[in-house]
Amino acid sequence: MNKAKRHEIFRRFREDNPKPVTELNYSNPFELLIAVILSAQATDVGVNKATDRLFPVANTPEAIHALGVEGLSEYIKTIGLYNSKAKNVIETCRILIEQHNSQVPETREELEALPGVGRKTANVVLNTAFGHPVMAVDTHIFRVSNRTGIAPGKTVLEVEKKLMRHVPKEFLLDAHHWLILHGRYVCRARTPQCGSCRIEDLCEYKHKTSD
């Protein structure tokens, strides 16, 4: 895919949704961090149901840590893998309290040192909470990048690096949200809505044999 096509794709995304936001509910970087840790292999809707109960009761590292694993589990047991997630969150809270003055760190290295935080989660926090122009590649972004031809790659990291290189700088800050929303609602895994897709004429998927 050439530079002009990519620019037009993101121009249209911006035209349709000038200020895209995450669908996770949060009001500060710490709440976002916890929500993203909980969102692994879970839906944003499911996470929001749990955090809508949890955050009014506990939304600081100290308050969540005080719940303990069992106490926290009661709030998040509707989410998949809640036992291991509860352990990770409690340990993350301890590290934030002891090593970061209860603040969410703003570097990828420090974020990835927290339990339950991988590269994708770190990038979500850096981008959404702190406004860093980074790209968190989830299954939706991986699929859209490959299917459309925007940034094809065999691994998540390869796609991330290509997006960082090829997405025009003026769109980079919001590209993560546009691509996720496009993959979630239009360019779906099994039933892509090509006929109602805003970028169908620019997409390279329709030129290939149907998968």
Angle at 179 between CA 185 and CA 119, to 5 degrees: 120
Q: Side chain identity at 13, as an amino acid letter?
A: F
Whether residue 174 lies in the annotated active site: no
Confirm if 108 and 93 have CB atoms less than 8 A apart. Answer: no
Whether 197 has a binding-site annotation, put simply, is yes
Q: SS3 for 25-50, per residue?
A: CCCCHHHHHHHHHHCCCCCHHHHHHH
Which of 5, 16, 49, 120 is labelled catalytic?
120
Q: How far apart are CA 85 and CA 32, in angstroms?
A: 15
Confirm if 34 and 114 have CB atoms less than 8 A apart. Answer: no
Which of 3, 52, 138, 206 is labelled catalytic?
138
Whether residue 162 lies in the annotated active site: no
Residue located via tokens 């949890």: 54
List C-alpha distances in Å: 23 to 59, 105, 167, 184: 18, 22, 22, 11
Whether 93 has a binding-site annotation, put simply, is no
**Catalytic sites, residue numbers:** 120, 138
Known binding-site positions for [4Fe-4S] cluster: 187, 194, 197, 203
